[in-house]
Amino acid sequence: MSSPGVALARREPDALRVAAAESLVTWAITAHPGRVALTVSFGGGGLVLAHMVSRIDPRVPVLFLDTGFHFPETIAFRNRFAERYRLNVIDIHPASDPGPLYQTDPDTCCHIRKVEPLERAMAGLDAWITALRRDQSETRRTVEPVEHHEIGGRTIVKVMPLAHWTRDDVQRYLAAHRVPHHPLLDQGYTSIGCWPCTRPTAPGEPERAGRWSGTGKTECGLHTFTTKR
């Protein structure tokens, strides 16, 4: 006789995939009370995790890196989404404003507007939930659902419940739970960041091809500034 997990996997593989992600979010929250946060850009898979957090414990901080260059649609959608699901959204701001540095030095711009603020926010945390998926890009191909990362001389748990999900899994979850999606997805955007560094993608292009298009830059640094142990 097979275990309930094996039986579920045979009967409803999609259900198990979702259940496993939600179990991971539950574990991250219950194992690190008061020391865990979710980071979300409100563009894609983060909405799945924000929805799960709202059902498990809506007091969990949902960190939003307010770079000052988000699309107005992103800010409006974030506000609607946070209100609908009663999320504890916390805006994280840069410590300084270097102006439109994205034109000349996008790496430093991302560091000032994203990486340093997140590093600061992480100071009081032991666990970080984020929506990275293997199928998003080559640079994310090897992420594991649970990793240990060194940050500022200490170790935190980086939890990526959607590591094995596909873009279709995300869309299926949002549809099944009637969770709204970012309005720019209907205008050809497949990954949404700051407006100066994001364009819509053409059919068949990789999901993140519209980010820093033509510059060779593929990551903002949020997922490369920590060291995997």
For binding to ligand SF4 (CB under 6 A), which residues are involved? 67, 69, 102, 106, 109-110, 113-114, 193-194, 196-197, 220
Nearer to ligand SF4, 43 or 106 (CB): 106
Instruction: Please report the sign of the dihedral spanned by the C-alpha atoms of residue 192, residue 195, residue 199, residue 200.
Output: positive
29, two tokens: 């929250």
Query: Which are the contacts of 134, defined by CB distance < 8 A and separation ≥ 6?
Result: 140, 141, 142, 143, 163, 164
- Residue 174 vs 209, nearer CB to ligand SF4: 209
Closest approach, Cβ 109 to ligand SF4, in A, equals 3
Nearest residue (CB) to ligand SF4, 32 versus 70: 70
List Cβ neighbours of 183 (8 Å cut-off, separation of 6 or more): 73, 77
Known catalytic residues? 220
Nearer to ligand SF4, 21 or 65 (CB): 65
To ligand SF4, the closest distance from the beta carbon of 156 in angstroms equals 22
| 136 sits in which H/E element | none
Q: How far is the CB of 115 from ligand SF4 (least distance, A)?
A: 9
Closest separation in Å from C-beta 108 to ligand SF4: 8
Alpha-carbon distances of 212 from 2, 12, 70, 109, 120, rounded to whole Å: 49, 39, 14, 12, 25
Coil, helix or strand at residue 120: helix
Rounded-to-integer distance, Cα 64 and Cα 2, Å? 43
Measure the CA–CA gap between 225 and 169, rounded to whole angstroms: 28
Instruction: Give the residue with the Cβ less far from ligand SF4, 53 or 110.
Output: 110
Q: How far apart are alpha carbons 164 and 170 in whole angstroms?
A: 11
CB of 116 to ligand SF4, least distance (A): 11
Cα gap 18→14, rounded to integer Å: 6
Q: Which residue is nearest to ligand SF4 (CB)?
A: 194
